[in-house]
Structure 1
Amino acid sequence: MQTRLPRLFTVRVMVFGCVVLLAFILVSPTLHSYVQQRQQLAQLRSQVAAAQARNDDLQSDLSRWDDPAYVQAQARQRLSFVMPGEKAFRVADPQTVPDVEPAEKSGPSSALDDTGTGPWYQAVWSSVEAAGAQPVPPAGQTDASDTPSDATTDPATPPATTAP
């Protein structure tokens, strides 16, 4: 009699393997998208936590402005404001400022010096005064620098024609 060798793979094992392979093929894209969405969710949660921390910092900064002492301190620091009756002094770095005696001012004294560190309205007023000090030529006269050269003509004016 002949003895039969046992089969390594039976039909049942092959069908079961095919079912497992088919299930893996069907589930793997879903499992991949699930894992990817979990990573995105973790990133978004960390972004929300960072935004919430920034929001809390900004809210605390905003609540500081309700304190009048803080507002006064910021006005003094940022805008160089002084209270009525106080004198403002600006300390310059001795290494950047040359040893030159300031000229005596003939006008009214101000709280700050005229080295460009004064209030903005002083700079505007000094430019208005400088513009007013410029001589104005009469209406019929023009400067030589104001006249265009012969090569350039105004395109808005038509060329001059002569009558026959």
Structure 2
Amino acid sequence: MPADRFSTATRLRALGAQAAERVYRARGGSVRAPRRSRLTGRAAMLALVVCSLVVALAYPMRQYVSQRSEIADQRRQAEHAREQVKRLREQRARWQDPAYIEQRAREHLHFVRPGETGYTVRDGTGDARRPTDRRPADRAWYQNLWDGVDSADRGR
């Protein structure tokens, strides 16, 4: 028996193609060549490499973006700290001025110069910054205490 150069699978495939041609001719249709897959081994390997690169670079890119965000936050905080230092230096310079110290003492501690007469208005109308209707939560604790003592004394 002579050695056949085609394998059995190749011969069966050729016989199947011939049978398909006869069926299509009998129906009156044209014979189509068998459709080959468009995805070759090289294309599949390329797709696999591209997907691997995307997966491999996803985490470092996420880290890069988050670190850039943190750097921006740190820069904003540093700028805020610089502005605060500038305000504190200006305030320190004001406290070096004796006129400013005197103004603050007069305003908050009600100091007067020798020979001046200081007046304190008890009903609160002399101080324009105070609200006229002060609830117990808005007043100092000792005012609430004395009001409680006064109301107990009156029998309420």
Give the TM-score normalised by structure 1. Answer: 0.52
How large is the RMSD of aligned CA atoms in angstroms? 2.1
Return closer, same or farther for 1:94/1:55 CA change in 2, 3 Å cut-off.
Answer: closer
Secondary structure of 2:122 counterpart: coil
Secondary structure of 1:84 counterpart: coil
Which one-letter code corresponds to 1:43 in the other structure? D
Residue matched to 2:93: 63
2:59 equivalent to 1:32: no
Aligned residue pairs, count: 95
Task: Give 1:50's match in structure 2, choosing from 61, 74, 80.
Answer: 80
Runs of 4+ more than 2 Å apart: 1-7
Which one-letter code corresponds to 1:36 in the other structure? S
Residue matched to 1:79: 109
**Unaligned 5+ residue runs, structure 2?**
1-13, 18-32, 126-156
Q: Deviations over 1:95-120 (max 9, x none)?
A: 8xxxxxxxxxxxxxxxxxxxxxxxxx
Please say which of residues 30-39 and 78-87 is displaced more in the overlay: 78-87
Q: Deviations over 1:46-89 (max 9, x none)?
A: 22222222222222111111211111111111222111222211
Larger Rg: 2
Q: Quote the sequence identity (%).
A: 31
Secondary structure of 1:91 counterpart: coil
Which one-letter code corresponds to 1:57 in the other structure? R
Q: Deviations over 1:5-64 (max 9, x none)?
A: 342101111111111111112111111111111111112222222222222222211111
Return closer, same or farther for 1:94/1:6 CA change in 2, 3 Å cut-off.
Answer: closer
Secondary structure of 1:83 counterpart: coil
In 2, Cα distance between equivalents of 1:44 and 1:94: 47
Which one-letter code corresponds to 1:49 in the other structure? E
**Unaligned 5+ residue runs, structure 1?**
96-164
In 2, Cα distance between equivalents of 1:63 and 1:94: 33
Residue matched to 1:140: none
Secondary structure of 1:82 counterpart: coil
Query: Larger helix proportion, structure 1 or 2?
Result: 2
